[in-house]
Amino acid sequence: MATMVTAPSNSLMVLGTSSGAGKSLMTTAICRILFRQGESPLPFKGQNMSNNAWVDINSGEMAYSQAIQAWAAGLEPICSMNPILLKPKGDCTSEVIHLGKSVGIAKAHTYYKEWFKPGWKTIKKGLKELKETYNQGRFVLEGAGSPVEVNLMHRDLTNMRLANFLKANCLLVADIERGGVFAQIIGTLSLLSEEERNSIKGLLINRFRGDITLFDEGRLWLEQKTGIPVIGVLPWIQEIFPPEDSLDLLERKGKKNNAELEIAVIKLPLLSNFSDLDPLEAEPSVQLNWIEPGEPLGQPAAVIIPGSKQTIKDLEQLNKSGLGNQIKDFAKKGGHIFGICGGMQMLGNSLEDPLGLEIPKGKNPQKHYSGLNLLPLSTVFDQKKALVNREVFGCWPKSTPLKGFELHHGNSKVIHGHEEEVQPIAEDPTLGWFLKDQSQIKIAGTYLHGIFENSQWRRSWLNQIRKQKGFQNLPENEPHYRVKREALINLLADIFEEHVDLSPLLKHE
């Protein structure tokens, strides 16, 4: 029998009646509140499925949502906070990351048969590592999806199995915006065992629009029906917070009244690391417009092609849909284009996949693919993945320190004979390039995820575009985006504290 991992105080767990109920944000808020109270909260999500990743100080991959929770807890993100990360590849397979390292490719229909035992072992190892590093910490656990998927409950790695293992006090979050909130809660509780129901110490209603007192009667009914206190009703939060997966990008379509620049972001089918765009979302003068293949590009001030989990597949979709030609036409007209990681690879002339990492050999024997031919680069995909935090000095569009991380398989280089056409954007010439132009530089790309978090760099890039459009320059002496992120986390915690009473969750039994 496995040895119980214990913490000095009761572990907490945030469960949801469904995916997207708000578990990640609630966990983030709880971490910040406990941190404010002098505790050492330890965020932990046993298994996460997301292509929005972060690279920790030990060069390991983890979900970005757990990185945010670590910052909320006043900690440096480390992979033991998210011991299993599944990165969907778009063909019913996922790359499996265990404690930061890639350990294989899993097929959906055989995942639990092949990966359940090693997965549970990895989760326990992550707990043990965190406990040994922070021996006075309280685990703040986040569940995944619904805890009562009856066909999966017996092999669910990261909901009630983990709650039972740590004897955690659980909070059940329901999203009233989706409708059917009473059925969500009653249905979920009815499918739990008696022991599991007894671990639910509080209910939380999320995303309530309007006068919260209008839910008083519903609150009373739920408490009488379930015997569990409704510890809070949270209003709809208008501030922008990072979503957990790309489906949540659908919630980012609100218009800014004072936006001066519209930037088109290509919403790739296998989009990854879209949190790279959060700092631009937070710019009052910028309106991001997410464009899917098949939709018209329009007439934006600039185009950004973000990262991709499967660059070649997404490139083929761009070309098949005609969006690739629209991007090329935009470039010919002098449009500003910036590619991040896979997006930069697409801007190049050629992509080679000799090992079938992007397109499995059995499905397509082709090894050479044409890019958008907007930067004279060639990319070759190889087995080794670049995973490293970087601090470098940028030299374009202005000289400024840069922080970020690399997370990619492909290696790109300037095509021989074209060295005079492009220049590196940073002191490390492998991190990205910009296309030289006698009048203005309009096409560039980088492998540095998080580059827009560097506020001086971001504002300098925006000011190039603003100058072309006839707008005044924005101040470039802005603090790093982490200052804004801290303010957002504090705001979230403030709202949470105003509307939620955590005391039922914190009681010792």
Does the pTM surpass 0.75? The reply is: yes
Q: Quickly tell me which residue has 């966990």 as its tokens.
A: 27
3-state secondary structure 441-465: CCEEEECCECHHHCHHHHHHHHHHH
Q: How far apart are CA 16 and CA 13, in angstroms?
A: 10
The pLDDT score that the predictor gives to residue 1 is 34
The residues annotated with a catalytic role in the active site are 341, 449
Question: Which of these, 314, 316, 317, lies nearest to 306 by C-alpha position?
Answer: 314
Tokens read off for 484: 């804004």
Say if residue 365 is preceded by a cis peptide, omega within 30 of 0: no
The pLDDT score that the predictor gives to residue 153 is 82
Phi and psi (nearest 5°) for 507? -70, 140
The pLDDT score that the predictor gives to residue 441 is 67
Alpha-helical segments (H) within 283-359: 311-321, 323-332, 342-347
The pLDDT score that the predictor gives to residue 241 is 55
Q: Are 469 and 217 in contact (CB under 8 A)?
A: no
Map out the domains of the chain with their CATH numbers. 12-236 (3.40.50.300), 246-482 (3.40.50.880)
Q: How far apart are CA 411 and CA 447, in angstroms?
A: 10
The pLDDT score that the predictor gives to residue 136 is 87
The pLDDT score that the predictor gives to residue 368 is 87
Q: Are 329 and 342 in contact (CB under 8 A)?
A: no
What one-letter code names the amino acid at 474?
A: L
Q: Quickly tell me which residue has 């050629």 as its tokens.
A: 350
Q: How far apart are CA 376 and CA 417, in angstroms?
A: 9
Per-residue pLDDT of the chain (509 residues; tens, 9 = 90+): 334 454 445 899 999 999 889 999 999 999 999 999 999 999 999 999 999 999 999 999 999 999 999 999 999 999 999 999 999 988 889 999 999 999 999 998 899 889 999 999 999 999 999 999 998 899 999 999 899 988 888 888 999 999 999 999 999 999 998 899 999 999 999 999 999 999 999 999 999 998 999 999 999 999 999 999 999 999 987 554 555 544 454 345 467 778 999 999 999 999 999 999 999 998 999 999 999 999 999 999 999 999 999 999 999 999 999 999 999 999 999 999 999 999 999 999 999 998 888 876 555 557 789 999 999 999 999 888 999 999 999 999 999 999 999 999 899 999 998 988 899 999 999 999 999 875 566 899 999 999 999 999 999 999 999 999 999 999 999 999 999 999 999 999 999 999 999 999 997 65
Q: How far apart are CA 441 and CA 420, in angstroms?
A: 14
Q: How many CB atoms lie within 10 A of CB 84?
A: 27
The pLDDT score that the predictor gives to residue 246 is 42
The pLDDT score that the predictor gives to residue 237 is 77
